[in-house]
Structure 1
């Protein structure tokens, strides 16, 4: 029977010592093993289909090479699984595996989920949420390097860093898009203020008006909710019985479901999208925004990008923590691409990832005469 190749087999084929094989394949060859020998070792390992024993490596390094991920409902809901997918791709590329536990939005289970993962000797922890929100971080997360994705630590002066979408910039770029098409009378339908996303997207909308030296009409900003029916009734309020010259020519929405409701209201009122009213969504929700009729212009949330950025920063911190021990802080500045987080005062270690403008069929030039 063919047996699995060993490090000694690789050493013999490459003509080097077994310790040289270990140094090279464990990423410590530079400065310890000649470059020519490193190349021979890699070629020999590939020829023999040799990979280091993960359990033995973990025992030697006192690391499990496992990252625990706690989710509020990312696993059990149809939304935002791409955050975990982006994180997992980075972890696998660096020889780590991920283990995910979902609390189904029961905060009482947070500490227990973290404890379960710590019992499995994870090297680091990530907490992921479906929507942007403050998180009461379980204190036992501080035992190992930790990071937050799509949420931020709600404790004053807290040290767990976060990777979140740049919602203010997203709201601003959505408004700038329809302004570039000639629109000036632009309404904004937002969700409630229970989540930080809505006020930040409104803030971006206001910033765009300020940059264009245009006043914001407060009557054009309505916080109606997050679902299709809220978008429908909000659009009816803005459009029904209003003379063409007095109705908004574009309606921005804080998510794609609101935008669907707006489009349905326009159809109910005999208005064409985008000929009479341009409609803009937010999120680029899978199987919804692209498949709408008309296909929705929207701001795409950077879900995979957030997961990848968070995992990259976390693994950097794991690599710098001696023997997996931790001082109670988190990854340094979480890749350092941002220090602010919109309308709320959030700990300085926050990375904000830009959303992406996706232009489709629901936005068009301002109607003639407007």
Structure 2
């Protein structure tokens, strides 16, 4: 492993000079030409800083704690962790992820992460919701992921739920659908309220009259399928915006039982871009992809900017399905999700 002493010998300067340069403390202390030579030699020799030594000097461990509620065990939401890991690696941090199943477990995991000396924390929920942040995290740098602090004390990032529904409903209107149903979620949650709002607003923006008889809020399994079936027969919708891809399956099932063709007789749009559903259904489901990777990546960048007290203008942001909002976005930062066109929306004649 290349040492600072070797770099000093190769460039003909002192070890202290090399230390100043490689720890970014050379401004005003080392001539720019010499600093450039040191950095060039360090790169040539493949110098890698020692994280432990750096942490002893700076009192920073460069460890981030990721505290999740079921996110780590949810396949399609695992993209949050992938995004967080990608950003942490790019910024020179290590991410430690823990999964909790209740308040007692959560307190234990937070205590353990603090013993590791984590510089900051990400606090994630499985689905977008208001949440109460544990007081044990209140005094540390903290960013919420797919959740909003009920008291508005901490930065957070979440999908733009209203735009999800507005974009999907508008797409159905553009496809020529005249009677657009909303298959929602009967469980009270932030995402449901906002998606319903976006659905209704899109209709009104297009000069349509909102009809509550076209709204069917369900949970799952047999009762949900029966409710959607009754909606088919009583209201005869020709377009369906579904709270998620799982609920779109009920529409496919009801259409098949009636000899109706998805993408021809009726149009359907879901939310999630859940691989098992969106790509297995035939025809494949047009859906809005939730920005799991983007939320994870943005949250780490925001957290590091808070820890290091800088704006991170010098890093290259990755190309993502949904555009990343600026780090100084109003809180909560909203990510406008991307509608993935497949084959379940009829072509307008």
Q: Which runs of 5+ in 1 are unaligned?
A: 322-332, 339-348
Task: Determine the structure 2 residue equivalent to 1:219.
Answer: 213
Q: 1:261 to 1:229 in 2, by over 3 A?
A: farther
Conserved 8 A contact 2:70-2:126: yes
Aligned residue for 2:316? none
1:190 corresponds to 2:170: no
- Select the residue among 288, 293, 296 that pairs with 1:299: 288
2:193 aligned with 1:199, yes or no? yes
1:337 aligns with 2:329: yes
Partner of 1:138: 134
Instruction: Name the SS of the counterpart of 2:272 in structure 1.
Output: coil
Query: In 2, are the aligned partners of 1:233 and 1:265 still within 8 Å (CA)?
Result: no
Q: How does 1:276-355 map to 2 (within 5 A)?
A: 276-320=265-309, 335-338=327-330, 349-355=331-337
Offset from partner CA, 1:39-96 (integer Å, 9 cap, x none) = 3223322332221111010000000000001000111232311111111111111110
The residue aligned with 1:17 is: 14
Cα distance between partner residues in 2 of 1:273 and 1:169:
24
Divergent runs of 4+, >6 A: none
- Map of 1:108 onto structure 2: 104
Moved more, 160-169 or 190-199: 190-199
Residues 216 and 231 in structure 2, CA contact (< 8 A), matched pair in contact too: no
Partner of 1:75: 72
Match of 1:44 in 2: 41
Q: Could you tell me whether the CA contact under 8 Å between 1:259 and 1:279 is conserved in 2? A: yes
Q: Give the structure 2 partner of residue 58 of structure 1.
A: 55
1:5 paired with 2:11, answer no
Match of 1:265 in 2: 254
For these two proteins, the number of residue pairs brought into alignment is: 335
Are 1:91 and 2:88 an aligned pair? yes
For residue 200 of structure 2, give the secondary structure of its aligned residue in structure 1. helix
1:275 and 2:286 equivalent? no
In structure 2, stretches of 5+ residues that fail to align are 311-324
Give the 3-state SS of the residue equivalent to 1:68 in structure 2: strand
Q: Secondary structure at the match of 1:216?
A: coil
- Mean CA deviation greater in 24-33 or 56-65: 24-33
Match of 2:232 among 218, 225, 239: 239
Q: Quick one: structure 1 residues 28 and 51, their matched pair in 2 at CA, closer, same or farther if it must change by over 3 Å?
A: same
**Conserved in 2, the CA contact under 8 Å of 1:235 and 1:266?**
no
- Inter-partner Cα distance in structure 1 for 2:20 and 2:179: 65
Task: Using structure 2 for the length normalisation, give the TM-score.
Answer: 0.90
Aligned to 2:172: 178
- In 1: Cα distance, 2:283 partner to 2:270 partner: 12
The aligned residue for residue 249 of structure 1 is 238
